[in-house]
Amino acid sequence: MSNFTPTTVKNKECLKLDTLQQRVACLADAGPDAIDDRLNELDREWTAGRVTKAVIGVLIVLGFGLTALLNPWWLILPAFGGVFLLQYLFTRSSWLGKMFHEMGYRTGFEVDQEKMALKVIRGDFRQLPTLLDIENQEDISRLEGEGGIVVEPEVSKVAPLEAAKVALEATMN
| pLDDT tens readout for residues 154-167 | 555 667 777 777 77
pLDDT of residue 4: 44
- Cα(152)–Cα(92) distance, integer angstroms: 50
- Cα(108)–Cα(48) distance, integer angstroms: 7
Output the pTM of the full model: 0.69
Return the domain boundaries, the chain: 1-45+112-173, 47-105
Phi, psi of 164 (to 5 degrees): -65, -40
| pLDDT tens readout for residues 38-54 | 999 999 999 998 999 99
- Cα(97)–Cα(100) distance, integer angstroms: 5
Share of the chain above pLDDT 70, in %: 75
